[in-house]
A and B are shown apart, each in its own frame.
Chain A
Amino acid sequence: MTDFETFLLDGRPVRFTRGQTILEAALAAGHYIPNLCHHPEFRPHGSCKLCTVKVNGRLGAACTVKAMPGQEVASDTPELNGTRRVLLQMLFVEGSHFCPGCEKSGACKLQALAYDLEMLTPHFEHFYPSRPIDASHPDVLIDFNRCIMCELCVRASREVDGKNVFALAGRGTASHVVINSASGKLVDTDFALSDKAAHVCPVGAILPKRVGFAVPIGERLYDVDSISTQAEKRVGEEV
């Protein structure tokens, strides 16, 4: 008898402990499943749907489906990767993602996923949103045009920082992050550069001021190893 149970991911056995989601178990075992709104320190959100997999023939988000013994999970298939590519294209056209002008480029999860899934074009007609930028805070800038509604900042501020600086408001494509102050400006909150929420954005929507383009091209987070290669090298760590 072993302490571990296993499920099958693309035909390979993956060990897991009870309570882990498919995504958590897969990442811990060094098997990459694309994901964007997931963060190991936070409860599953399940909104970006990049981690959509087929569990015993049924589609589900790997970040929200609990691992169970004997499950057969399909992830790295042309069909699912095709769906993921479309989801990325949707995010790219919904916001304004001009990589050459973004300080996050090279360390951006959205971009890294697009590379990994070989997304060569955003394909759909661009929405060209015109969302105001909040540069009011002395240390942090927010460009809402890059926001992908993953709510990681909302969650981090609430759950880690205990500050509740952000909330998601609106509906449908009018969804947007709002700031919890009467003026709606970041400067009028107790937000600080040291907050978890200041460093959790997977894209370039929340950025520290005055440190843009600090890492040279070629040495940035995803320049050498792709996001999937890195995940595969990170076996056993909490990811």
Chain B
Amino acid sequence: MTKAAGHHPTELDVVLARHGRDRLRLVQILREAQEIEGWIPPETVAAIARALDIGVGEVESTLEFYSFFYRRPRGAYVVLFSDNITDRMLGNRSIFDHLARRFGVRRGEVSSDGLVSLDYCSCTGLCDQGPAILVNGVAIPKMTLARADQIHDLIRSKVPITAWPKEFFQIDHNIRRADMLLGSPFVPGSALKAAIAMGPEAFLVEVKRSNLRGRGGAGFTTGVKWEAAKKAQGDERFIVCNADEGEPGTFKDRVLMQYYPERVIEGMALAGFVTGARSGLIYLRGEYLYLKTPLEEKFAELRAGRLLGRNILGVEGFDFDVEIHMGAGAYICGEETALIESLEGKAGRPRIRPPFPVVCGYKNKPTVVNNVETLCKVTEIALQGGATYEGYGTKQSTGTKILSVSGDVERPGIYEFPFGVRVNQVLDEAGARNPKAVQISGASGACLGIREFGRRVAFEDVPTAGAFMVFGEDRDMFEVARNFAHFFAHESCGFCTPCRVGTAIQAKLMDKIANGHGTQYEMAELTHLREVMRAGSHCGLGQTAGAAIADTIGKFREDYEKRLAHKDFEPAFDLDAALARARSVSGRDDAASHILDHA
């Protein structure tokens, strides 16, 4: 055994040994290695590179890609504020500022005593109970100024998080409307028994008959995907559960994994049963760390009940087991090929497709990537048959869909509706307060105005992965779009030119408008950029990164117009501020040392 260098060689050795010094497990190794000191010092990078027999640069490539990996020291308590637009609407900024003041620390910095660091992060999937924060990776919902003060005191007193009041960490399911899936009892093993009774071929026929389409947003037919993976060449196959629920405003997968884990896991086993895959991987987003242990306990329980492991339910040769891979803060990993790259321990940059994962996925083997909700749905099909879906939902979008409703509503939370439900009905049931807009399917989705509230949630009309963010009449849709613009600039993987550069320019232009320096010129620029990003981007992130801006310019132009300077042109930068440095070193403050007008 090679001895790893670094401050804590033994602890790192344990981590490396646990993962068999496997390069494919680099993301997991880095996650655990970071727990040793709260960050990853250069010696640890070097030690990991040596142990895995790869270059330092390759370790850095993965390390620098993920938001939750740190190359510089962090506070003993890392406090991250979820910064989705719904968190903003619930006042996260003032709570952040309050806490920053109390700790005397600025955004992105570590307090001088090394106790705490404070920053924002992308949506943590607690939009129905925000504002939310993560403390050392663990989620705390429903933040208030009072709770911030309590947290301040706990941190000052160096109380370990495990000893913090349990109610801080209480995450509610907020299930407001249950239908086919959420409202039916489920006996673990029942779906497997039904499928085994049918046999894999017949069960696949049922899945196809149901016309079940992927609930992650793209809507690919599940049965077709399974069949393709089953038929693909390969000595090994994999079932991946995409639990990287990073789309701002979406949180239904969190509820399914917390309250319906048997359905999720059994759905994976069913996929294994049909395709012949023996390994299942749950790619769990880093923000959902608190779900890891309960899920693993559930695995153990299911193994004990012969619902996972070898010879499931006594069927000779039906072997299937599951493990969790944690993400580390990268929205792009929700894209299935980026997710697979991440599973393989690399930066999450989307692959070129084709080949598609069903042919060449994890470890270049046939791989089915299904959304959490999709996997729950297949348990229904096993129990009730594919024909049950006929007449449920619409012809092209069968069955029910779970919506994550947040924003300006009386009852935020989880709503299960048959596909085809009109936007209006969802708004009514959730108690929307004078809604002026709904952002459907998250930052990358569509923004609907009042005149479109009669449209239907369905693949053929308004498709959605589940997010349903409601904005009341007083909300400023420019700020909504600006929030999303910064989200995309932060989350762009950087692989392709249009997305890497385009999202950054887009965010700058939105800031320019926000600062009162925008003109019609910037409006035209945004519209043009959107077209280039949509036309040229490698994956859905870049292709949709300008959608919210285009939608809001089209439907809520007044929210932009009121900010525009009524001029032909405004400089790209603040001219007077650009003189500040020279003013300060020369000690000048005369009239000629300023450019105050904007002629």
Size of B's binding interface in residues, CB under 8 A: 42
Answer yes or no: B505 CB below 8 A from chain A CBs: yes
Q: Are A49 and B497 interface neighbours, CB within 8 A?
A: yes
- Shortest CB–CB separation between residue B522 and chain A, in angstroms? 11
CB distance from A79 to the nearest CB of B (A): 8
Q: Which of A40-48, A99-107, A214-222 contacts the other chain?
A: A40-48
Contacting residues, chain A, for B330 (C-beta < 8 A) = 171
- A149 on the interface (CB 8 Å rule)? yes
Question: Is there an interface contact between A172 and B538, defined as CB atoms closer than 8 Å?
Answer: no
- Is there a chain A Cβ closer than 8 Å to B504's Cβ? yes
* Closest-CB distance, A139 to chain B (whole angstroms): 20
- Check if B255 is an interface residue, CB within 8 A of chain A: no
Q: Does B492 contact A (CB under 8 A)?
A: yes
A199 to B489, CA, bound (A): 32
B500 cross-chain contacts in A, Cβ below 8 A: 94, 149, 172-173, 175
Known: A49-B537, A171-B330, A172-B491. A178 touches B61 (CB 8 A): yes
A172 touches B497 (CB 8 A): no
Q: Which among A170, A172, A174 has the greatest number of chain B C-beta atoms within 10 A?
A: A172
In the bound complex, CA of A124 to CA of B573 (Å): 12
Contact residues of B: prevailing secondary structure = helix
Asked if B61 and A169 sit within 8 Å, CB to CB, the answer is yes
Chain A residue with Cβ nearest B571: A125
Which residues of B545-599 are within 8 A (CB) of A?
Answer: 572-573
Contacting A175 at CB < 8 Å: which of B42, B66, B494? B494
| A167 adjacent to B497 (CB under 8 Å) | no
Stretch at the interface among A84-92, A130-138, A227-235: A84-92
Query: 1/0 per residue A124-162: CB within 8 Å of B?
Result: 110100000000000000000000110000000000000
Q: Is there a chain B Cβ closer than 8 Å to A52's Cβ?
A: yes
**Complex Cα gap A173–B492 (Å):** 8
Establish whether residues A167 and B505, one from each chain, have CB atoms under 8 Å apart when the complex forms.
no
Quick check: B496 and A125 within 8 Å, CB to CB? Answer: no
Assess whether A35 is interfacial by the CB under 8 Å rule: no
Which residue in B65, B501, B535 is a CB contact (below 8 Å) of A171?
A: B65
Q: 10 additional contacts, CB 8 Å, given A87-B536, A172-B492?
A: A49-B498, A90-B497, A167-B57, A169-B65, A178-B56, A178-B64, A180-B56, A181-B57, A182-B46, A182-B56
Q: How many Å lie between the Cα of A90 and that of B532 in the bound state?
A: 11
State the CA gap A125–B495 with chains docked (Å): 21
B45 to chain A, nearest CB (A): 9
Tell me whether B494 and A173 are in contact (CB under 8 A). yes
Q: Which of A59, A124, A179 contacts B57 (CB 8 A)?
A: A179
Measured CB to CB, the nearest residue on chain B to A88 is B497
Q: Which residues of A contact B494 (CB under 8 A)?
A: 149, 170-175
Interface residues of A (CB under 8 A from B): 44, 46-50, 52, 59, 61, 64, 83, 86-87, 90-91, 93-94, 124-125, 127, 148-149, 164-175, 178-182, 184
Do A125 and B501 have beta carbons less than 8 Å apart?
no
For B536, the chain A residues whose CB sits under 8 A away are 49, 52, 59, 83, 87
Using known A-B contacts A59-B536, A83-B536, determine if residue A171 contacts B498 with beta carbons closer than 8 Å: no
Q: Is the CB of B504 within 8 A of A173?
A: yes
Chain B residues within 8 Å of A172, by CB: 489-494, 500, 503-504
Assess whether B309 is interfacial by the CB under 8 Å rule.
Answer: no
Closest residue on chain A to residue B50 by CB atoms: A182
Q: Kindly list the 4 A-B residue pairs having the minimum CB-CB distance in the complex, ordered from nearest.
A: A180-B55, A175-B494, A167-B57, A180-B57
How far is it, in angstroms, between the C-alpha of A43 and the C-alpha of B164 when the chains are bound? 53
B56 adjacent to A46 (CB under 8 Å): no
| Choice from B63, B492, B537 contacting A169 with Cβ under 8 Å | B63
Chain B residues near A93: list those with CB within 8 A. 501, 505
In the complex formed, the residue of A with least CB distance to B332 is A171
Please name all residues of chain B whose beta carbon is closer than 8 Å to the beta carbon of A124 when the two chains form the complex: 505
Contact partner of A83 (CB less than 8 A), chosen from B65, B501, B532, is B532
Structural contact, B497 and A168, CB atoms closer than 8 A: no
Write the B162-179 contact mask toward A (1 if CB under 8 angstroms, else 0). Answer: 000000000000000000
Given the known interface contacts A178-B60, A180-B55, the answer about A90 and B46 at a Cβ–Cβ threshold of 8 Å is no
Please state if A87 and B61 are interface contacts (CB–CB under 8 Å): no
With known contacts A167-B55, A180-B55, A47–B538 Cβ distance under 8 A: yes
Shortest C-beta distance, B210 to chain A (Å), equals 29
- In the bound complex, how far is the Cα of B490 from the Cα of A172, in angstroms? 7
Does A127 contact B504, Cβ atoms closer than 8 Å? yes
Q: Does B352 contact A (CB under 8 A)?
A: yes
Residues of A within 8 A of B490 (CB): 172
Residues of A within 8 A of B529 (CB): 86
Assess whether B277 is interfacial by the CB under 8 Å rule.
no
> Could you tell me if B535 and A168 are in contact, using CB atoms closer than 8 angstroms?
no
Given the known A-B contacts A83-B532, A125-B573, A127-B504, are A171 and B496 also in contact in the complex, defined by CB atoms under 8 Å? no
Judge if B267 is at the interface, Cβ distance under 8 Å. no
Q: Which among B57, B60, B66 has the greatest number of chain A C-beta atoms within 10 A?
A: B57
11 contacting pairs across A/B (C-beta < 8 A): A46-B538, A83-B535, A90-B498, A93-B501, A167-B58, A167-B60, A170-B64, A171-B66, A172-B503, A173-B489, A180-B58
Closest-by-CB residue of B relative to A94 is B501
Closest to B42 in A: A182
Contacts of A48 in B (CB 8 A): 496-497
Query: Does B347 sit within 8 A of A, measured CB to CB?
Result: yes
B residues less than 8 Å from A83 (CB atoms):
531-532, 535-536
Instruction: Compute how far the CA of A182 lies from the CA of B144 in the bound complex, rounded to whole angstroms.
Output: 45
- For B483-521 the 0/1 string (1 means CB < 8 A from A) is 000000111111111101111110010000000000000
